[in-house]
Structure 1
Amino acid sequence: MDKSLENWQEKAVEQQKQHKQFLAKLQNRKGKGVEKHLPALHEEAFSKIDCLECAGCCKTISPRFKPPDIKRISKFLGMKEGTFMDTYLRLDSDADYVVQFTPCPFLEADNKCGIYDVRPGDCGNYPYTDSYDFIKRPNITYENSVICPAVYYVLDRLKKIVQ
């Protein structure tokens, strides 16, 4: 991992207040062109970060399982949709289906995903560092900054570009 990412989680916790203020500032400005930097910063971050070394997302949070995800994954696992849902999912406070417990039941010992080819759409899009959702959803980005080194990295670089 890149030297700037050493102790990233400690740094992220220390900088949470700054990150929250920075994201609020971006939200108030409606991005104002900041989003054009996100794809390059995303690529830069993932040239330095190997998700298999971390798997923080799979260990601590759950994606939403939308109906197409449930259908696709249950078919892949050879289960009826209802059985899949009863076995692995619960409704959260937003009425979204999420895994019953963390870590994700499909996370394997080597941090690989047991359903990678059919994983939920949220997993494929996470951590949203290459899209406007990164700015549009500041609370989620703020929370993800202590879960995912890529979010921390992109926030850190973006602050240097914008400020």
Structure 2
Amino acid sequence: MSDVNMDNWQKKSADHAKLYKQWLQRADKNKVLKQLPALHEEAFEHVDCLTCAACCKNYSPRFKTPDIKRISKHLRMRESDFIDKYLNLDSDGDYVVKKSPCAFLGDDNFCSIYEVRPSDCARFPYTDEDVLLKRQQITLKNATFCPAVHYVLEKLVQPK
């Protein structure tokens, strides 16, 4: 397998969106799941989240009940105050950040609550788990703004 050229990756990702979609629909799930951990590690040898942070700047994770409890405790806030200050309920009934970029993202792209961040943040960009295959629309959306997702998809769709 050749390396992925990351120059102009956003345009390449947009150009390959149809290819990614077709590939995801036909992928051999078990074969792909075995490849993901190594591809995930390889992607992050080429991608530094601290130079990007597009996920934190433009999108919100879901804040589930355990996340809210853990983060509000860490911030020494009542859960209701934490929700009032930082979160809104979206159309799916999930708590998400009130505004973008995320209030916990610093100017240096570091997360001020990294140790207790929401589980969605800890798992993002899902390139080492079955979400990549199970939630194809999310994978395709993530490929538009996350260079690591682009990298993994490029490696997967390359002819062997």
Q: Normalising TM by the smaller chain, what interval? A: over 0.9
Q: Unpaired segments of 5 or more residues in structure 2?
A: none
SS in 2 for 1:146: helix
Cα separation, 2, equivalents of 1:23 and 1:77: 40
Equivalent residue pairs, number: 158
Cα separation, 2, equivalents of 1:94 and 1:122: 15
Q: Which amino acid aligns with 1:4?
A: N
Is residue 60–residue 147 contact of structure 1 (8 Å, CA) maintained in 2? Answer: no
Task: Show the counterpart of 1:94.
Answer: 92
Residue 121 (structure 1) aligned to one of 119, 122, 127: 119
Tell me how far 1:3 sits from its aligned partner.
Answer: 7.1
SS in 1 for 2:5: helix
SS in 2 for 1:105: coil
Task: Show the counterpart of 1:11.
Answer: 12
Cα separation, 1, equivalents of 2:25 and 2:85: 39
Task: Show the counterpart of 1:155.
Answer: 153
Tell me how far 1:25 sits from its aligned partner.
Answer: 2.0
Residues 1:136 and 2:137 are matched in the alignment: no
Q: Which amino acid aligns with 2:8?
A: N
Cα separation, 1, equivalents of 2:23 and 2:90: 29
Is the alpha carbon distance of 1:71 and 1:93 closer, same or farther for their aligned partners in structure 2, counting shifts above 3 Å?
Answer: same
Is residue 73–residue 119 contact of structure 1 (8 Å, CA) maintained in 2? Answer: yes
Structure-2-length-normalised TM-score: 0.93
Is the alpha carbon distance of 1:130 and 1:161 closer, same or farther for their aligned partners in structure 2, counting shifts above 3 Å?
Answer: farther
CA deviation map 1:115-138 (0-9, x unaligned): 101100110000010111111111
Q: Unpaired segments of 5 or more residues in structure 1?
A: none
Cα separation, 1, equivalents of 2:15 and 2:103: 31
Structure-1-length-normalised TM-score: 0.91
CA deviation map 1:12-70 (0-9, x unaligned): 112212212222222xx5x1422111001001001111100110110111111011110
